[in-house]
Amino acid sequence: MKSILTKAKNDNKDPYLAILDHRNTPPTADICLPEQRLMGRRTKTRLPTSDSLRNRMNIDQEKVNQHRERTNKNSQRYYDHGKRTLRSLNPGDSCRIQTKEGWIPTKVVRVSAEPRSYVVETETGQYRRNRNFLLQTRENIVLPQIEEPEPENELKATPSTGRATPTIQYPLPTPTEAQEYRTTRGRTIKMPAKYKDVDMSK
């Protein structure tokens, strides 16, 4: 349909007449016209047509469905002409993952719940990638162990609830910090002498 409109525009012709000619042209000899399938009869064209050809007719819907299925199968066959099925991966297989920096080594951790996807582990962490972005290799890839940082706050269990509560130690302010006031830029605010007895913390 798009090519028909493009040709009509390039030839400076009416696009509606081009669409009308397309709908009044049968795809094959044994299949009815697109207009007949839509409206049950032929439509008027610029060519002289007898009135008997524009009468309503019965459409063989089964034959139309068979023609549509054949057309869809042919389109799928041409679309899948260069398709190939990639071999599935198993946990522990060595492969390389495609990134912006190139193909970096990785290992398969497990099969993901999504179709054709795997959870892989690299030096920076674990990722989920589609099989299309994984290249299986025969390398013996050994990834460094990622050490998890230890929590800074020690957890202690309270005798009443038995739950672990964090013990956070805050630094105590020095006497100079308690007396000085600073702006967001870090400049020290010097209070006037007449306000030295005023408590500014209230």
13-63 per-position pLDDT tens digit: 888 888 888 777 777 766 777 777 777 777 777 777 777 777 777 777 788
**Statement to judge: residues 64 and 108 lie in one domain:** no
**Statement to judge: residues 70 and 98 lie in one domain:** no
Determine contact, residues 89/118, Cβ cutoff 8 Å: yes
Label residues 154-169 b or e (16+ Cβ within 10 Å = b): eeeeeeeeeeeeeeee
- Taking the CA atoms of the chain, what radius of gyration do you get in angstroms? 38
The per-residue pLDDT for 73 is 92
Where in the chain does DSSP place strands (E)? Answer: 94-99, 102-111, 117-121, 126-130, 134-136, 155-157, 164-166, 181-182, 188-189
The per-residue pLDDT for 118 is 92
Q: Which residues of the chain have pLDDT under 50?
A: 153-158, 160, 173, 175-178
pTM over 0.85: no
Q: Read off the tokens for 136.
A: 């299986």
Q: How many domains does the chain have?
A: 2
The per-residue pLDDT for 11 is 86
Identify whether 175 is part of a domain: no
The per-residue pLDDT for 164 is 53
The fraction of the chain above a pLDDT of 70, given in percent, is 76
Identify whether 156 is part of a domain: no
- Per residue in 61-71, pLDDT (tens digit) is 788 788 888 88
Comparing CA positions, the residue from 197, 171, 173, 177 lying closest to residue 189 is 177
Per the structure, the complete domain to which residue 37 belongs is given by 2-76
**Statement to judge: residues 13 and 58 lie in one domain:** yes
The per-residue pLDDT for 154 is 47
Identify whether 164 is part of a domain: no
Identify whether 165 is part of a domain: no
Distances (CA, A) of 48 to 38, 43, 44, 88, 109: 21, 11, 8, 62, 72
Identify whether 195 is part of a domain: no
Helices (H), 50-144: 61-79
**Statement to judge: residues 56 and 111 lie in one domain:** no
